[in-house]
Structure 1
Amino acid sequence: MMQPVKFSLLFFLLSCFVISCKWLSKDEEKPIAKAYDKYLYLKDLEGVVPKNVHGNDSASMVLAFIDQWQHEQVMQHQAETNVNIDNQAIQNQLETYKRSLIRFQYEQKLILQKLDTVVSDQEIQKYYQENKDNFQLKKPILKASYIKLPANAPKIAMVKKLFTSKDIRDADLLEKYCFKYSPNFSLMDTTWHYTEELAQIFPIDKLGENNFDNLNRIFEISENNTLYLIILRDSKFRDSLSPIAFEKENIKNLILNQKKLALINQMEKEVFDEAQKNNELEIYDK
């Protein structure tokens, strides 16, 4: 094996070849690395180093590529040495995989050309009603409004009053206040969230699940010189029926998958019937 200094020099020169794209046919045939009876050639490095990478960085990338290649060859050699290779079995598996891959690509092309991807609200509602047992919550979900403020933010009492008000003018005043003082707020979010999503925004774990049904009241949490004002607008507990709004995208995907299967099954029947019609299929007597 070459000394590290020679390796470094070789890798630098190789990277220069890659970057400049000055590939000489005689150099392409010279091996630059070996593992058992396998050789890596200069031409095998084409595309390894991006054109905008130069100097030591390019040399490092070439070195990493060669190192990875040798590791792969060592593991392959180890596997081939310690396994009784059944070439026919491997060939059968390759043929099976090839057939599956060709069929998969054909099915994907068929889906792109013919699948109706529009799923109506009526379809979603029907699926939800017929499969309610499949939409039981495994953990709580919440609708929450929140305001994040510095601990020294002014007029907190006024903010809390505006936060619980149903007057449109108060909502407008509160929004203007939040734009001025709050780094993060959501006053009327109607989206359902898992608690771990909300935990990325405010310390919801400090509320406790026993408070999740205390709706439309302000929870006040102070943490790290920050004040959080939180109102839970709605909640659903684990083992309860998940709201359709929360499951809408999931149901849409489920319906689309059903449509895909139906389209593929229809295609299979049509092509099989056509093959029978054209006498392309026969069963011989033994």
Structure 2
Amino acid sequence: MKRIYLVIILGAILHSCDYFTIKNDTRQPVARVNDTYLYKEDLKSIFANDMSPQDSAIIANNFINNWIKQHLLLSKAQINLKNSTEKFEELVKSYREDLFINSYKEAVVKQYLDTEITNDNIDEFYDKNKQNFKLNEELVKLKYIKIGKNILNKNELIKLFRSTKKDDLDSLITKEIYLKSYHLNDSIWIKFSDVLAKTQILKEVDKKQLLKKGKFIQKEDSLSLYLVTIKDVLDRNDISPKSYITPTIKQMILHQRKLLLLRNIEETLIDDASKKQQFEIY
């Protein structure tokens, strides 16, 4: 479809102050498709306050072009799908009703849903549903650093990294300037796939050899030295640790509460309406 150019119309939008009347309507039209008009005031919401005249012209031109295309398609559809009009009206009615109902439900949930989740809530949910939380990939706890291959204090950094003393770890952290990248919190579980994505060189290591508790790996390329210590490993189909699955548990608890809240509201609504004889079943 050829682009519809509306330079003259845009000039009227941005510069003209003359008004003319169409069917006793003093609004200024900027485009028309059959008997449907687009007016200048309809474009007010599409412009930002700090927009230049050039940008305004481009935005207006695109909006008008899209408006014309949409209404031409709508007109063509109404002519060629005349037999489907009743079906479409039903769909529109159904959509309108669903929109009102869902908006009401969202407002109710926002106002009444209890969003406070305690550790006891998480523990109880985890214990009841533990078998549903099997891993579909490996998790690891690890330490990792990447340093320059030829830096002067390389041996010191390697010694600090391999140490299990907290003071040495703290000392290593203070030397962050020498670390090209690192992960030193080996108390949290991480997807093994994420580790490989960020440390491509580990893909050269056999997976079975890599995924061992206490495993230390030292690899290098032309520029860098990579050090990895695997503290712990969970295999595929192992039960996911609670600390790892906690965000998901919170979402599931909230979802259950939401469903229960809506169910109670619906039951209360029907009960009240029944008492007031607001509906009958024949």
TM-score bracket for this pair, using the shorter chain length: 0.7 to 0.9
Distance 1:208 1:41, change over 3 A: farther
Q: How far apart are 1:240 and its partner, in Å?
A: 2.1
Pick from 229, 240, 246 the counterpart of residue 227 of structure 2.
Answer: 229
Pick from 161, 182, 199 the counterpart of residue 202 of structure 1.
Answer: 199
Distance 1:194 1:84, change over 3 A: farther
Could you say which residue in structure 1 is the equivalent of 2:169?
171
Counterpart Cα distance in 2 of 1:7 and 1:87? 33
Counterpart Cα distance in 1 of 2:128 and 2:192? 28
Counterpart Cα distance in 2 of 1:87 and 1:225? 69
Counterpart Cα distance in 1 of 2:63 and 2:263? 45
Pairwise CA RMSD: 2.9
Contact 1:160 1:218 in 2 (8 A): no
- Letter in structure 2 aligned against 1:77: S
Counterpart Cα distance in 1 of 2:155 and 2:129? 47
Could you say which residue in structure 2 is the equivalent of 1:250?
248
SS in structure 1 opposite 2:46?
Answer: coil
The answer to whether structure 1 residue 184 and structure 2 residue 181 are counterparts is yes
SS in structure 2 opposite 1:191?
Answer: coil
- Letter in structure 1 aligned against 2:147: L
Could you say which residue in structure 1 is the equivalent of 2:10?
11
Counterpart Cα distance in 1 of 2:32 and 2:149? 65
Q: Percent identity?
A: 25
Q: How far apart are 1:120 and its partner, in Å?
A: 2.2
Counterpart Cα distance in 1 of 2:8 and 2:222? 54
- Letter in structure 2 aligned against 1:263: L
Structure 2 residue runs of 5 or longer lacking an equivalent are: none
Distance 1:153 1:214, change over 3 A: farther
Could you say which residue in structure 2 is the equivalent of 1:98?
96
Could you say which residue in structure 1 is the equivalent of 2:50?
52
Contact 1:164 1:216 in 2 (8 A): no
Could you say which residue in structure 1 is the equivalent of 2:153?
155
Structure 1 residue runs of 5 or longer lacking an equivalent are: none
- Letter in structure 2 aligned against 1:72: Q
Could you say which residue in structure 2 is the equivalent of 1:74?
72
TM-score by length of 2: 0.83
Counterpart Cα distance in 1 of 2:17 and 2:130? 65
Q: How far apart are 1:23 and its partner, in Å?
A: 6.8
Aligned residues: 276
Q: How far apart are 1:77 and its partner, in Å?
A: 3.3
Instruction: Give CA deviations for 1:100-127 in whole Å, capped at 9, x if unaligned.
Output: 2222222222222222112222222222
Instruction: Give CA deviations for 1:210-233 in whole Å, capped at 9, x if unaligned.
Output: 234223333223346233222222
